[in-house]
């Protein structure tokens, strides 16, 4: 996603492949062949959206999903998928969402606004390997 720290890896015969700096694959490659790692940067990025997985942990309460949905609506964020589970033993809710977001600034603003809702324990991006 634009805004992520990235590096390039010079492949054999396929040009340069781009990876997040914390990508496990590129970290392994850098250990074996550091001379093939190059600095790269984001160029001008058209206004696009990117799918991002986020996780919200909260103390469960009536209206929690509605309140999170209202923040998403106010930020004009499209939701691609949502999964909410309640744990009756500790009275918590775990929400996993896939959203479309234009970049890291918008993601940070969204997570900050959600974290200000009542009973929120944690909001974060759920990074996948790669």
C-alpha dihedral (98, 102, 108, 110), degrees to nearest 10: -60
Rounded distance, CA 73 to CA 79, Å? 9
pLDDT tens-digit readout, 15-30? 899 999 999 988 998 8
Same domain, 81 and 26: no
130 domain residue, yes or no:
no
Helix (H) or strand (E) holding 3: none
14 lies in the same domain as 55: no
Nearest CA to 16 out of 43, 39, 48 is that of 39
Residue 1 domain-assigned (yes or no): no
Give the torsion through C-alpha atoms of 73, 77, 79, 83, to 10 deg: -70
Stretch 32-39: mean pLDDT, rounded? 90
Q: Is residue 45 part of a domain?
A: no
Structural domain boundaries enclosing 88? 50-125
Asked if the model's pLDDT at residue 1 lies above 80, the reply is: no
């Amino acid at each position: 996603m634009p805004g992520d720290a990235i590096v390039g890896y010079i492949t054999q015969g396929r040009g340069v492949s781009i990876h997040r700096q914390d990508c496990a694959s590129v970290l392994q490659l850098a250990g074996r062949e550091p001379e093939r790692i190059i600095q790269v940067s984001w160029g001008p990025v058209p206004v696009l959206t990117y799918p991002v997985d986020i996780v919200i942990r909260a103390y469960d309460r009536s209206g929690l999903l509605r309140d999170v949905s209202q923040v998403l609506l106010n930020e004009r964020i499209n939701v691609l998928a949502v999964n909410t589970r309640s744990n009756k033993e500790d009275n918590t809710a775990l929400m996993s969402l896939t959203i479309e977001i234009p970049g890291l600034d918008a993601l940070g603003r969204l997570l900050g606004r959600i974290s200000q809702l009542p009973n929120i324990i944690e909001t974060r991006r759920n990074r996948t390997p790669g």
